[in-house]
Amino acid sequence: MNLFACLYAPGNLPLLVECAREFSPHMEEVPSDALIFDLTGLNKMFGTPADIAALIAARVGVPASIGIAPNPDCALHCARGFAGVTIVLRGRECAALAPLPVNLLQAPAEIAETFDQWGIRTFGELAALPPLGVAARLGQEGTRLWQLARGEWERLLNSARDPLRFSEELELEYPVELLEPLSFLLSRMLHDLCARLHQASLAASEIRLRLTLETGFVHARTLRFPAPMIDPLALLKILQLDLQGQPPTAPVVKVTLEAEPARPRTQQHGLFQPQSPEPEKMELTIARIGAFVGAGNIGTPRIQDTHRPDAFEMVRFGSVVGETVSQSGPVRAALRRFRPPRVAQVQLSGGRPVNVRSLSISGVVQDCSGPWRTSGDWWTSEAWERDEWDVALSSGMLVRMHFDRGTERWFLEGCYD
């Protein structure tokens, strides 16, 4: 049997919340003076509703009206309308609420005016009206008020929940200097954190690590994942690899680990869809490879919106969503870039290159085309202007080179391959 209690004490809502926590985690705050909470099932522990009411009255600590009723709104109206303790049993709601003034219903202004014109002053007078007549004249809202006046309006509690926060903190008795003992601590904290995330059916989309150093500085690292992760071992390995690349500069005295909760990835692959790497496994693989090639050298290229040659940036793999398009058109000769472009000495004859020499590539020019002049960014301090040539060398290479008009030097940019 459902049973709800309402505490009414204007201005003392925090105390009411504290009292209600001792009886139930399911509670609803009614701004700004009342609190409704669920007592269903407490009779097995505390006895009759009267016994429960006595316990609540003993623990509330401030003068408060207490209403206990089979539904939340009936309990609320009892607490607001009557002083002291009011207990309403199932089937007696209408009679118990009858003497209460109708303005407790907090009806919309238009309906309240109608009640006034009709001479309705109490819950009992409203409850005595025929339901079909109320529905015909006042609509859905009128019916709801009529049911409230009879104490028959059933609903679920709109429970207020604390925001979920997943963090672990550990103050160390002795400073930790090496990464290995620190890894043991991180492992324990990550296991606890992941267990709590798992309990809440969540995963971590971001891990924030704050290491308070002996010198007073804080070494903060933030790891974001393209897909939420829950495996503590994988997270530990990623943290270890990150700390190996960016180690703290002094012994650690305090460790704080925080996880950003997110819904875990749920994806069902189609039978005929191409395979794709598992995000969790991929994140670990990328971290491992990034540890020896450099984190900036692994990722997905994104071409920048400029005409400047070789303008791109590296972004995290999996963070960009691209549309797949069907390939069409003729086969294109590809360019292999020299990064950075190689400085060359070029001999000209009649304005055309005849001989090219650089540290690694040299040869007599057998065929060439150009110059193709391009320029850009002239409105910034990074202006560029160049004359581009395609050259076939006697060594067999097809080279793209350019004359930089800013520095007046020749560069080999790449070879067609």
Partner 1 sequence: MSAAAAIRTQVQAALPRFDLPLVITPRPAPELLAIGIPALDTLTQGGIPRGSMTEIAGEASSGRTTILHSLIARATSQGEYCTLIDTHDAFDPATAAECGAVLSHLLWIRCGANTENALKAADRIVQAGGFGLVIFDLSDTDMLSARRISLASWFRLRHAVEKTSSALAVFSRQFNARSCSRLQIELRRTGTTWSTHLRSVAFEAETRKYQFSRRAAFEAQRFDPLA
Q: In the complex, which residues of this chain contact partner 1 (CB under 8 A)?
A: 273-278, 281-282, 285-286, 288-289, 292-294, 297-303, 307, 309-310, 312, 314, 317, 320-339, 367, 369-370, 372, 390, 392, 396-398, 414-417
Q: For residue 243, give both structure tokens.
A: 């700390």
Nearer to partner 1 by Cβ, of 190 and 399: the residue is 399
Question: Taking the alpha carbons of 67, 71, 72, 78 in that order, is the dihedral positive or negative?
Answer: negative
Q: For residue 282, give both structure tokens.
A: 């991929």
Q: Tell me which residue of 340, 337, 344 sits closest to 414, measured CA to CA.
A: 337
Instruction: Give the three-state DSSP class for 187.
Output: helix
CB of 275 to partner 1, least distance (A): 6
Q: Tell me which residue of 311, 307, 341, 310 sits closest to 413, measured CA to CA.
A: 341
DSSP 183: H
Nearer to partner 1 by Cβ, of 133 and 277: the residue is 277
CB of 328 to partner 1, least distance (A): 7
Q: Tell me which residue of 231, 219, 334 sits closest to 284, measured CA to CA.
A: 231
Nearer to partner 1 by Cβ, of 32 and 266: the residue is 266
CB of 288 to partner 1, least distance (A): 6
Nearer to partner 1 by Cβ, of 106 and 394: the residue is 394
Q: Are strands 362-376 and 384-393 parallel, antiparallel or unpaired?
A: antiparallel
d(CA 64, CA 66): 6
d(CA 417, CA 412): 14
Nearer to partner 1 by Cβ, of 124 and 299: the residue is 299
Q: What is the CA radius of gyration of the chain?
A: 37
Nearer to partner 1 by Cβ, of 15 and 392: the residue is 392
CB of 236 to partner 1, least distance (A): 18
**Residues contacting 155, CB < 8 A, separation 6+:** 71, 72, 73
Nearer to partner 1 by Cβ, of 157 and 282: the residue is 282
CB of 215 to partner 1, least distance (A): 34
CB of 396 to partner 1, least distance (A): 6
CB of 239 to partner 1, least distance (A): 18
User: Helix crossing, 279-293 with 232-245: angle to 10°?
Assistant: 20
